[in-house]
Amino acid sequence: MVNSDASFTGTYSVAANGRGTLTFNVTGSAKPVNAVFYVVSSGELQLMSSDAQNVNTVFAGTILQQKGAGTFSNASLNSASVIGLQGPNSAAGNDVVLGILSIPSAGNFTLAADENNAGIVGTLSQLGTYTAAANGRVTVTGTTHPLVLYLLDANKGFVVGTDSNASMGFFELQTGGTFSAASAKGSFFQDPSTPGDTFAPSYDSGVETFDGASNFTGTTDSNSASAGLLQAQGSSAAYAIATSGRGTIGNTIFYLISPTKYLLTDVGVGVAQSTISVGEK
């Protein structure tokens, strides 16, 4: 159920070791929400729910400090960003979208993306309009998955879907183009992005190395509900990167945010529980 643009109030406390607790009351919700968090810095908290699962939905995520609060406008989106979002669908699989959000002019956008919807793979080519409020909340029209963006800074922020898949994710300014195979040279540490409420996911972590000339090698540890823990799994393959920053490694698609960071997902046909991973030097 969508509770649109809901306000909330609450209380919090923080111990000297950086562990905090909070309670917030959301307008329209009968139950308060309780969570614990850990302070990474003055601008970042790592958060997870502390209610029993039969009381409130289990969640985990990150709270980041917003820059420019109260000063946002349509002009705050003015360049291409890499966007990724994921959520469960009714077929007991995940719906993952990964692509590039472009701004041809203030108030207008285009979205070119890959989608794996519970093993049904396709591409998205959409356009529409957006309206940014001064507080950074951005409403979007024209997408298959109705979206709301929350700006942290210009061309950067969180994204949430308002469809039944309850998708969520992040978008970040893309820099370093025009891209080629040489744009990904070096070793990247790869981990899952913030886990969503996904069905039987497989989470991978490891080191991926690109030679800058279309050759890829990797060593990965994987933990899945179906296969359990698989350690030190080696791989090698050819890769290619388009000028837009969209890259391919077999059935894997990745988008370069910059020459030092990418988002990646599996778009193999029949792979129903695909998730998003982030790689960073």
Residue 150 sits in a domain of what CATH number?
A: 2.40.128.20
State which residues form the domain around 139.
74-173
User: Is residue 2 included in any domain, yes or no?
Assistant: no
Beta-sheet strands, E only, within 156-272: 156-161, 168-173, 186-192, 202-210, 215-224, 228-238, 240-241, 246-249, 252-258, 261-266
Closest CA to 120 of 89, 99, 84: 89
Q: Report whether 161 contacts 168 (CB < 8 A).
A: yes
Collect the ranges in the chain with pLDDT lower than 50: 196-197
Cα 79 to Cα 103, 106, 114, 131: the distances in Å are: 6, 10, 20, 15
Determine the 3-state secondary structure of 168 from DSSP. Answer: strand
Q: What is the DSSP letter of 179?
A: P
Q: What is the pLDDT of residue 43?
A: 94
**Which domain-ending residue is among 173, 198, 218?**
173
Cα-based angle 36, 41, 44 (whole degrees, multiple of 5): 60
- Clarify whether residues 92 and 150 are in a common domain: yes
- Clarify whether residues 135 and 193 are in a common domain: no
Count the alpha carbons within 13 Å of 256 in the hemisphere toward its beta carbon. Answer: 27
What is the domain count for the chain? 3
pTM: 0.88
- Clarify whether residues 166 and 84 are in a common domain: yes
Q: What is the pLDDT of residues 193-208, one digit of tens each?
A: 655 445 556 677 889 9
Q: What is the pLDDT of residue 162?
A: 83
User: Is residue 200 included in any domain, yes or no?
Assistant: yes
Residue 212, domain CATH:
2.40.128
Q: What is the pLDDT of residues 175-191, one digit of tens each?
A: 998 999 999 999 999 88
User: Is residue 69 included in any domain, yes or no?
Assistant: no
